[in-house]
A and B are shown apart, each in its own frame.
Chain A
Amino acid sequence: MIGHRAIFVTKVLSILTVLLLVAPFILGLVSLTKSVDVDWRGLLAAHSSALWNSYWYALLSALITCFLGLLCTLVLFVYYGNATRRKLALVCLIPFFASTAARLFSWVLLFSSFGAIGRFLHFLRILPQQESPLSLPITLIFALVTIYLPVAIFAFYSFGSTVPQSAEEAAAVLGANTFGINLRIRWRRLSWALAVVFFFTFISCHSAFMVPSVLGGSAGWFVSTSVDYLLNVALKRDAAVLLSNLDTLLVTSGVLVIVLGYYLVGRTKSNRSNT
């Protein structure tokens, strides 16, 4: 391995990096514990819809993204050969790296009352003329899903393709149909991908700022947009900081409980299998 001195130096640098970068998070939690005299009930009542929207639409978007991503990946595995499958997975990934602002701008144009989709919806009388598709909650979910779907497909493909070819062939010889093979053989790997994609999409949608600011109307009233409002319109910096820190506490403790629960369940299972 590398010299002891070099390892020591990298460890010290690592500790400094971690301390420096995590400091704002720790400060946020500390400031939250110090603010005991705050009217929590009032704060929660004023921003409960923002908290609810942040979690609810993030959850919905994550679930839909996972479902569609899984469906697309299964279609890839069932109907396409190895080489085409890989190329298609990479093609799917391209829009993910095409900047969120760029894609959002395009969706805003398409969904506005003058845009192609907006006009089409009005033409079909799905939407009344006076209502803009931009303010519909479904538009918000659609935009969030299309932003994260490319990476979901690529993630499912990457995990799913780690199954050995021989296992697929063996299952086919034993009479399993193609959908059955793919679901059964790849399920173990895909379930990992499902957890990763769900976690990633949920966290990303929950802290999204750009998309809910312009899409979804009142549904786009997320914590991030509320914080922006408190800071720049209502000019209540303390309330903004408090709300954002409260949200951070909720989301990190939620993730911690899930990870810890998963770890404990896994440990109990392995203990049982050992005995």
Chain B
Amino acid sequence: MKALIWIFILIVFLPIIYLLYAGLNNSEFISADFRGITLTWLTNAISDPKFLNALGFTLLKFAVVGLLSCFLGLILGVSYINSSWWFRAVIICSLAVLFVVPPTAYCLNLLSIARSVGLDRGLFLTIIAQTTQALPAVAAFLLPTLKNINWNEFEAAVLLGAPSPLALWKFVVKKIVNHLLLAFSIGGYISLDDLVANVYLGGATGGTSITKLIWESMRSDINPAIAWYSLTLTIIGAIIIVQFARIGGGKTELRAVSHVRP
């Protein structure tokens, strides 16, 4: 029975291990037997302008979606803890709806609305859709954190003459800065992992993210460089794990993770 957990760990890690193998194997056929180690595919990936462009777009979206969802999550969280039950119910129901609605349906309807106001596919719409996808997870993560803040300390500091921004920094932001960073990472991760918004709303100006690049390569041109594209995403995802380890795995983290949807 003790070995069972290791079998599961091996199964869930197998794709990552295999990516490393495919990326290092000295064969242009990605499913081939082992023929020695090479870094050719890594150098090919790094020198590919398509990949570098996709990496740039992915990181840009990661940052923008992370920041936006974090900001909106904070706004929703602060108004949630200072509101009556019906306002809270509206916020919770809205977040639940955003989580339940399939991304394809959401993106198609968003595109209809955007077209009716003269907007077309592009980076802006992709970011809106990805922020919407990220918001339930980010808000669910930030809500318990904001609830646990002792606002009296902040209020007392302001009453005693401390400047509001300084008091806010010292008694609120400083205490939750790790949680904010993790919320930012979760928001960014959802943008990183998203394909639907990229495909339906990206258009010509929306840029190609690494996920979209992998998707397109998987359908047309499978080569070992894709393993490195995929490993790049894995490395970015590892940043989030580091954040988790820093603040400790608990119930609040679980709530956030359980809302992350690829």
Contact = CB atoms under 8 A, between A and B. Distances in A.
Interface of A: 1-2, 7, 10-11, 13-14, 17-18, 21-25, 27-28, 31, 68, 71-72, 75-76, 78-80, 86, 88-110, 112, 114-116, 146-147, 149-151, 153-155, 157-159, 162, 196-197, 200, 203-204, 206-210, 214, 223-224, 227-228, 231, 240-241, 244-245, 247-248, 251-252, 255
B100 A17 contact: no
B100 A252 contact: yes
A22 B94 contact: yes
B109 A25 contact: yes
A224 B106 CA distance: 11
12 contacts: A14-B76, A98-B233, A102-B214, A102-B234, A105-B15, A150-B12, A154-B254, A158-B251, A196-B254, A207-B261, A210-B195, A223-B104
A51 B114 CA distance: 28
Contacts of A98: 15-16, 233-234, 237-238
A27 B241 contact: no
Q: Is the interface of B mostly helix, strand, loop or mixed?
A: helix
A200 B259 contact: yes
B113 A106 contact: no
B75 interface: yes
Interface residues of B, number: 92
B101 A252 contact: yes
Nearest to A193: B254
Given A90-B249, A92-B8, A10 B78 contact: yes
B99 A28 contact: no
Given A14-B75, A24-B113, A159 B12 contact: no
Given A18-B94, A96-B257, A158-B250, A10 B112 contact: no
Q: Which 7 A-B pairs have the closest CB atoms?
A: A102-B230, A106-B15, A100-B262, A97-B237, A99-B233, A24-B109, A207-B102
A151 B91 contact: no
A27 to B, nearest CB: 5
Given A109-B18, A109-B30, A248-B102, A21 B94 contact: yes
A21 B132 CA distance: 6
Contacts of B97: 22, 25, 252
Contacts of B83: 11
Given A101-B214, A102-B231, 7 more contacts: A22-B97, A92-B8, A93-B244, A116-B18, A158-B251, A204-B261, A228-B199
A94 B101 contact: no
